[in-house]
Chains A and B, each alone.
Chain A
Amino acid sequence: MNEINTDNIKSQMRKGVLEYCILSILSNNDAYASSLIVELKEAKMIVVEGTLYPLLTRQKNQGLLSYRWEESQQGPPRKYYSITDKGKELLAEMDSAWKEIVETIALLRHKKQ
């Protein structure tokens, strides 16, 4: 029998809500990749940064995000991501889905006791 891998379960859960997190951060303010990384790392949502880049591109291709180049004082221009209307719609849907999940879990936990 395999041992129960707690870390693996946790990382699977985080992976599931990572896209939700990106949209949430961008709904507050536009950000370039590095500042997104800092926020996600602080929130312990990602361990290695590499996971983020394919997600950003995928969300951009799905029309959830857009980006623009902005001048920066410290070197070359930076790519700023912002959330689109379509992204905001999805975010609203995810908000209610998240609420549902949290309520369901609370309900189940309560029933058990």
Chain B
Amino acid sequence: MKKVVTVAIGRKSFVIDEDAYQKLSLYLSKFRERTKMGHSSSDVMEDLEQRIAELFTEEMKSHIEVINLSMVNRVIAQLGMPDGSSAEDDFSAEEEYQVRQPVRRFYRDPDDKRIGGVCSGLAHYFNIDVVLLRVLFVVTLIMGGMGFWTYIIIWIIVPLAKSATQKCEMRGLPVTAENLRRFSTYSK
């Protein structure tokens, strides 16, 4: 199962896989950038999009209803870049960037805290149950002073995850528009 996007290309609407959409829109912005024609670029893009729409329509004749990544790759290979080079050189670096593993950073969690968000932050970082950690901390607190000081030191040193980006990183999620929206304070 895949998520799809509906887009208008060259005055026609198409249903397109999300990954294919990402690639196509990256290609279009690269093409526009490389055209270097100022405001006339939109005329060029209009012609280009019309051609893309035509090629997609050809593909649809074989009763495929959703544009996928391999179709987009075929079209991009056929169209190339305005200076006549193939688009591949431009993409290899970009793709590497996209498949890069999301980073996981240690932050204190402001949305799930009893005292300073230290336990929930640790739980996110090591991917363990926050309740277990809290119990552990309380036990060490009763047993001796170590748990208390550890907590205080972490509280001081580790920053609170304030922005949506930081909240993504705290959970080890990729920083995508969708994830950012999930943790954005404006949506609540």
Contacts and interface: CB of A to CB of B under 8 A. Distances in A.
A65 to B, nearest CB: 11
B11 A49 contact: no
B68 interface: no
Interface residues of A, number: 24
B73 interface: no
Contacts of B80: 47-51
Contact of A53 (B12, B44, B54): B44
A48 B44 contact: no
A38 B37 CA distance: 25
A50 B54 CA distance: 15
Interface of B is mostly: helix
Interface stretch (B45-53, B108-116, B133-141, B178-186): B45-53
B67 to A, nearest CB: 15
Interface string A56-85: 111011000000000000111111000000
Given A34-B51, A57-B44, A51 B84 contact: yes
A54 B84 contact: no
Contacts of B11: 76-77
B50 A11 contact: no
B40 A79 contact: no
A50 B119 CA distance: 55
18 contacts: A33-B50, A33-B51, A46-B84, A47-B80, A47-B84, A48-B79, A48-B85, A48-B86, A50-B31, A50-B48, A56-B44, A61-B40, A75-B54, A76-B11, A76-B12, A76-B50, A76-B53, A79-B50
Interface of A: 11, 15, 33-34, 37, 46-51, 53-54, 56-58, 60-61, 74-79
**Which 4 residue pairs spanning A and B have beta carbons closest together?**
A48-B80, A76-B11, A50-B80, A57-B43
